[in-house]
A and B are shown apart, each in its own frame.
Chain A
Amino acid sequence: MSGPGSGELPSPREQPPRPELHRALGLTDQELERIVEILDREPNELELALYGVMWSEHCSYKSSRRHLRRLPTSGDRVLVGPGENAGVIDAGDGIAVAIRIESHNHPSAVEPRQGAATGVGGIIRDIFTMGARPLAVMDPLFFGPPDDARQRWLLEGVVSGISSYGNSVGVPTVGGELTFDPGYAGNPLVNVLCIGALPADRLVLARASGTGNLAVLLGATTGRDGIGGVSVLASAGFSGDAGGAKRPNVQVGDPFEEKRLIEACLALLDAGLVVGIQDLGGAGLACATSETAARGGVGMDVDVSAVPRREPDMAAWEVMTSESQERMLAIVTPEAWSAVEELCRRWEVQASVIGHVTGGATPCAVGGETARELSGRLRICDRGTVVGEVPAASLADGAPVYDRPMRAPADRALSRADDPTASEGCGDCGAELRAMLLDSSWVYRQYDHQLFLNTVVGPGGDAALLRLAGPGLPPSERGVAVTTDSSPRWCAIDPRAGVGLVLAESVANLACVGASPVAVVDCLNFGNPEHPEVMWQLSETVEGLVDACHAFGLPVIGGNVSLYNESTGADILPTPVLGVLGLVERLRRRPPPMALAADASVVLLGRRRAGDDVPHPLGGSRWAVECRGRRHGALPPLDHAAHARLASFVASLVAADIAGGGRGPEDAGDAGLLDGVHDVSGGGLAVALAEMAVSGGVGVRVAGVEGHRELFTELPSRIVVVTRTPGELCARADEAGVPAEIIGIAGGDRFVVEQLVDVPMAELSQAWTGSLVGRLAPA
């Protein structure tokens, strides 16, 4: 290759594209016109392929971008907001925490095991790209009901993919969610969140800089796996064959390669040997080279013939768009190259120079305007010949931004009026309660959730609570808490209010482990954006999230949008999934469990009635949807100020407990106020109490519940606590302006809510244990 800015190379000479090739690559006629305008000539096949993947919905966010701009993204603790590989916050004590959430929905629908496995691999790379050691993964999963053989195949495959990859690569999976709804039968959702930690002074950004610096490809060889993953798979819906024809587009994961890659990259960063680093995910080299160049305001020459291959006879466009897994692009000074090579050899990681950084920043005309950032040219060479050349920023940032038509569903008023609260009467509450229990331990026992000795509260709790510790981190007594939450039931009724309720639930979950929330990441899973009602759902969701984030004072520091989740024309339920990160100042003791304790009082914190008109609304509740088949109605109201008061009251009690006032043989005699804690969410008070009873192996007698509506309502801002000092607790709650009522006493071998439920504990425990396993292995 020649030096930067050299003009002697022949002009791009690949064949001019076949007419209409752009459509096969997912580009519209208008998008092709825009490309011609940018290049001032017709693109060749390679260049068209680059635009095809980079301007795909998955990579460019072209349908959602204008909506996402409204989200609040700044805050005192925010070190890195959206737009980088991960968001990063300052956790104190010289430690920064990186967090990211992504979807791997479409690959998992086609090939559940590899789809989910490579989702885990991808998110982990995003985290160590920032210089952070990946410390924990969480997986929110959504399937159709498991009574169906295909759904069981999907669930088994996805769980085994996460298990085999995550366990082997050495990152614990500490939580997640499991949701069954017929709306996901044709298009399951596999979201994955990862957090990592790094010394705050070692933050790395994915930028290329320094003309003449080397572009080094690290890790696995490049093959034809995953070509078009983003454009063909993730940017279009599924037709009738359930994705069989798309299977060759799914990538295949190798966790052992990734494990070595993690160690090698962290060692390279520790030694200060790289200028910038970027992982290769969707759109492969096309994305990694153009994004690092665009962010750094430079250009890049790439020689595809220097890319190590695993298959013969690959064309330049195949090498550039391959989504082969476990690869990283590092920018390295020529002086550091030999040290990089040596370190990679030690970790058995292949390292190859595939290009270099060029200067010559030139304004690039995009759509008649000059692009915001200047950048150089991305020039692709093959055995000495230039085969393609485009402005790097036009790939990374030049995609059109669409203002797609939106329309609220025509039957909103009717649907709101079709409310189950008044019309559905009391049934067999005990049977309905048992039907709503879901023991997800079959899933999380297949995940290593304890590696690194950080997992204080693991899967199955309200939120994961981890020590903030890891190799290379400064010592700290702090803890970090993470929760993922969603409620497609609520969001289907009202996406704006629904997502607000989801964020409120996250805040309550964190409070139960003593953590204060600091940042949000969102994974917005929706149907086809070309359907105006789907765009309306997306826009409403963003509005709701903006409002809720402002109300709770939280920034959104990263996210992902997954569109075209549809099957045979039917869109999935609107499914925003939130990941919320919280911090604990001092973590010395285990928090109170999500369980009852014999002879202790059961206290309900928070208001018990929404108001006098409809005190216990049931619209969108699990009870209405799952037990009565009623999906419409009105959602319960949320009072942000009251919710924040409740959450900060509970968080302060638990935080005081875990900071050293609490439990454990090392501190006998200084018991905390709480013996158990759990927030009320899906399934209402009934399910919250049942989960605590089963977990503690202790029965309960509760009195004064106003009928089945109070038992099953999902009215927010309520937390159940268990205490042996109810008088003191209620006095403290009163001071904090938080309503508190003793509703029962734990103990005995029956689960009793007077007038409504009376079940032997043995029966309840059996229903709990068999709730998932029984459905997975039908007799």
Chain B
Amino acid sequence: MSTRVGVVVFPGTNCEHDVATALERAGAAASLVWHTEERLEGFDAVVLPGGFAHGDYLRPGAIARFSPVMGAVALFASGGGPVLGICNGFQVLTEVGLLPGALVKNRGLRFLCAPTRLRVASARSVLTGGVEPGAELQIPVNHFSGSYVCDGRTLAQLRDTDSVVLRYVENPNGSIDDIAGITNAQGNVVGLMPHPERASDHLLGSTDGLLLLRSMVAAAAGVRAA
């Protein structure tokens, strides 16, 4: 049986179908999970995709953290299950406290949809476990609030624990330390601003995102086997 991934859908989420398609390309079976769901049993991994959860009129992710599904996501993460937040999903993970820091408005105060080059900073996460540190990936970003910020102690801790997993080669949004993606202490919760699902097909110009998603699917299969 293939690895089962739940893709969480808040009202206003819009990348759910794209993420499901890319996960299937990466070998997983993806199902959409409505935000009122309170249980995530039966899934080997969970993804919070991009979009504008609940409209994001207050602050990205600030309302979504209260959706019923988030309790189940926290429980799933504490059990060691792989949890991935992409873009708006990353914002939600910081709001709910599963990852440290916050995402604020881009330098320049404009929305940015553009290709970016990323460097893999650490393989110590479910998302980057299958990729060599130092490898360069081409994956697009698509956000208004994608500038990662945190206090000095958190930054030191992220560095000390090898928790920065992806960095921009050319920083597009003003993120501190060029951070594009981070993980938690256990390496099973990962958030990143770039959209790996948008780099999952030769027809779209890059398949580098598939390398990351395949890593996560493999890690999820490993957790299930264990």
Write the residues of chain A forming the contact surface with B, with a CB cutoff of 8 angstroms. Answer: 160, 163-164, 167-170, 254-256, 259-260, 347-348, 444-453, 455-456, 467, 470-471, 587-590, 664-666
With A256-B54, A446-B110, A590-B202 as contacts: A453 and B21 at CB distance below 8 Å = yes
Question: Which residue from A255, A445, A467 sits with its C-beta under 8 Å from B112?
Answer: A445
Whether the pair B113, A255 counts as a contact (CB closer than 8 A) is no
Whether the pair B197, A664 counts as a contact (CB closer than 8 A) is no
Minimum C-beta distance from A443 to chain B (A): 10
Name the residue of chain B whose CB is nearest to the CB of A450. B198
Whether the pair B113, A259 counts as a contact (CB closer than 8 A) is no
Question: Which residue from A163, A168, A448, A666 sits with its C-beta under 8 Å from B56?
Answer: A168
State in angstroms the CA–CA spacing of A329 and B158 once bound together: 53
In the assembled complex, which residues on chain A have CB atoms less than 8 Å from the CB atom of B204? 450, 453, 455-456
With A168-B52, A453-B21 as contacts: A446 and B11 at CB distance below 8 Å = no
Name the residue among A445, A467, A590 with the largest chain B CB count within 10 angstroms: A445
Whether the pair A445, B114 counts as a contact (CB closer than 8 A) is yes
Whether the pair B113, A467 counts as a contact (CB closer than 8 A) is no
Whether the pair B203, A588 counts as a contact (CB closer than 8 A) is yes
In the assembled complex, which residues on chain B have CB atoms less than 8 Å from the CB atom of A167? 52, 111, 113, 142, 144
Q: List 11 A-B contacts (CB under 8 A).
A: A168-B55, A170-B52, A256-B54, A447-B111, A448-B111, A450-B113, A453-B198, A456-B204, A470-B17, A589-B202, A590-B205
In the assembled complex, which residues on chain B have CB atoms less than 8 Å from the CB atom of A348? 11
In the assembled complex, which residues on chain A have CB atoms less than 8 Å from the CB atom of B202? 589-590, 664-666
Question: Which residue from B15, B55, B110 sits with its C-beta under 8 Å from A256?
Answer: B55
Whether the pair A451, B111 counts as a contact (CB closer than 8 A) is no
Name the residue of chain B whose CB is nearest to the CB of A347. B11
With A168-B52, A453-B197 as contacts: A163 and B17 at CB distance below 8 Å = no
Name the residue of chain B whose CB is nearest to the CB of A449. B113
Which residues of B from 92 to 128 have beta carbons under 8 Å from A? 110-114
Minimum C-beta distance from B59 to chain A (A): 14
Whether the pair A451, B18 counts as a contact (CB closer than 8 A) is yes
In the assembled complex, which residues on chain B have CB atoms less than 8 Å from the CB atom of A168? 12, 52, 55-56
State in angstroms the CA–CA spacing of A194 and B12 once bound together: 20
Whether the pair A448, B142 counts as a contact (CB closer than 8 A) is yes
Minimum C-beta distance from B148 to chain A (A): 20
Q: Within 8 Å of chain A (Cβ to Cβ): is B22?
A: yes
In the assembled complex, which residues on chain B have CB atoms less than 8 Å from the CB atom of A259? 11-12, 14, 52, 55
Name the residue of chain B whose CB is nearest to the CB of A455. B204
Whether the pair B52, A255 counts as a contact (CB closer than 8 A) is yes
Whether the pair A587, B203 counts as a contact (CB closer than 8 A) is yes
Other A-B contacts than A255-B55, A259-B52, A448-B113, 11 sampled, CB-CB below 8 A, are: A256-B52, A256-B54, A256-B55, A259-B11, A348-B11, A444-B113, A451-B15, A451-B142, A453-B21, A590-B203, A665-B202
Name the residue among A451, A452, A590 with the largest chain B CB count within 10 angstroms: A451
Q: Within 8 Å of chain A (Cβ to Cβ): is B140?
A: yes
Please, how many residues of chain B have a CB less than 8 angstroms from a CB on the other chain? 31
State in angstroms the CA–CA spacing of A470 and B21 once bound together: 10
In the assembled complex, which residues on chain A have CB atoms less than 8 Å from the CB atom of B11? 256, 259-260, 347-348
In the assembled complex, which residues on chain A have CB atoms less than 8 Å from the CB atom of B113? 167, 444-450
Whether the pair B203, A589 counts as a contact (CB closer than 8 A) is yes
State in angstroms the CA–CA spacing of A588 and B201 once bound together: 10
With A167-B111, A347-B11, A590-B203 as contacts: A450 and B142 at CB distance below 8 Å = yes
Which residues of B from 162 to 221 have beta carbons under 8 Å from A? 195, 197-198, 200-205
Name the residue of chain A whose CB is nearest to the CB of B197. A453
Name the residue of chain A whose CB is nearest to the CB of B52. A168
Whether the pair B112, A453 counts as a contact (CB closer than 8 A) is no
State in angstroms the CA–CA spacing of A589 and B197 once bound together: 18
Minimum C-beta distance from A445 to chain B (A): 5
Whether the pair B54, A170 counts as a contact (CB closer than 8 A) is no
Name the residue of chain B whose CB is nearest to the CB of A479. B203
Name the residue among B18, B52, B57, B113 with the largest chain A CB count within 10 angstroms: B113
With A255-B55, A449-B113 as contacts: A456 and B203 at CB distance below 8 Å = yes
Minimum C-beta distance from B86 to chain A (A): 13
Whether the pair A471, B52 counts as a contact (CB closer than 8 A) is no
In the assembled complex, which residues on chain B have CB atoms less than 8 Å from the CB atom of A588? 203
Name the residue among A160, A450, A587 with the largest chain B CB count within 10 angstroms: A450
Minimum C-beta distance from B132 to chain A (A): 19
In the assembled complex, which residues on chain B have CB atoms less than 8 Å from the CB atom of A664? 202
Which residues of B from 32 to 67 have beta carbons under 8 Å from A? 51-52, 54-57
Whether the pair A453, B22 counts as a contact (CB closer than 8 A) is yes
Whether the pair A471, B17 counts as a contact (CB closer than 8 A) is yes
Minimum C-beta distance from B107 to chain A (A): 14
In the assembled complex, which residues on chain B have CB atoms less than 8 Å from the CB atom of A452? 17-18
State in angstroms the CA–CA spacing of A401 and B112 once bound together: 47
Whether the pair A453, B200 counts as a contact (CB closer than 8 A) is yes
In the assembled complex, which residues on chain B have CB atoms less than 8 Å from the CB atom of A589? 202-203
Whether the pair A453, B51 counts as a contact (CB closer than 8 A) is no
In the assembled complex, which residues on chain A have CB atoms less than 8 Å from the CB atom of B142? 167, 448, 450-451
Top 9 closest A-B pairs, CB basis?
Answer: A256-B55, A170-B14, A168-B52, A446-B111, A664-B202, A471-B17, A163-B111, A453-B18, A448-B113
Whether the pair A450, B52 counts as a contact (CB closer than 8 A) is no
Minimum C-beta distance from B130 to chain A (A): 19
Name the residue of chain A whose CB is nearest to the CB of B114. A445
Minimum C-beta distance from A743 to chain B (A): 29
Name the residue of chain A whose CB is nearest to the CB of B112. A445
Whether the pair B57, A256 counts as a contact (CB closer than 8 A) is yes
Minimum C-beta distance from B54 to chain A (A): 7
> B141-152: contact bitstring with A at CB < 8 Å (1 yes, 0 no)?
010100000000
